[in-house]
Copies of this chain bind each other. A is one copy, B any other.
């Protein structure tokens, strides 16, 4: 039977997703019971199943919603008029966005746990979204052509950049439960300066 006319279910759907995120975060996937999720969402258990069918599906919906956000971040293209630092900070901020609100850092933490538990699933899931490295690689290529970046291995260089951002900011935020701007900003400057010290074409010094 095709419903005569379907009504707006988005409110309940959002409430369920929100409650589920809370419970997943606080209990972990295994210990998050569908009863608890329904209660937290202020919804009957049957409604949860009507919307998502299974715990697994509910989880997938959360993951997809979250990763879709990342996808929608605007692209960054090389601009010879702007300083390297300014442009690199834009790349870093695209990562920092993922841990930039209490909610997002919770979800990132949960996702990291799940991805660590099943790295094959992690790989398959992340593969559905545009690779983060590619945008930086394209940027680096342009910057190198413009003589502002010096490297003999673009991929290694990109990996060093993300190592700095993730190692200094993202992962610490997951463990500390969040970031505070006043602590992140000096660190962000420091890692950008570190990157530029290695790969920037500093025309103001010369070998003696």
A190 to B159, CA, bound (A): 10
Contact A163/B175 with A205-B206, A207-B205 known, Cβ cut-off 8 Å: no
| A89-110 Cβ-contact flags toward B at 8 Å (1 or 0) | 0000000000000000000010
Query: How many subunits of this chain does the assembly comprise?
Result: 2
Closest B residue, CB atoms, query A164 = B163
Instruction: Indicate if the CB atoms of A194 and B198 lie closer than 8 Å.
Output: yes
Instruction: Indicate if the CB atoms of B168 and A159 lie closer than 8 Å.
Output: yes
Instruction: Indicate if the CB atoms of A160 and B168 lie closer than 8 Å.
Output: yes
Closest B residue, CB atoms, query A119 = B175
Instruction: Indicate if the CB atoms of B30 and A160 lie closer than 8 Å.
Output: no
Closest B residue, CB atoms, query A196 = B198
Contact A187/B113 with A119-B176, A163-B163, A166-B171 known, Cβ cut-off 8 Å: no
Would you give 5 A-B contacts (Cβ < 8 Å), ordered by A?
A156-B190, A163-B163, A194-B197, A204-B208, A206-B206
- Report A's interface with B, CB cutoff 8 A: 28, 30-31, 109, 112-113, 115-117, 119, 122, 153, 156, 159-160, 162-169, 171, 174-177, 186-187, 190-191, 193-195, 197-198, 204-208
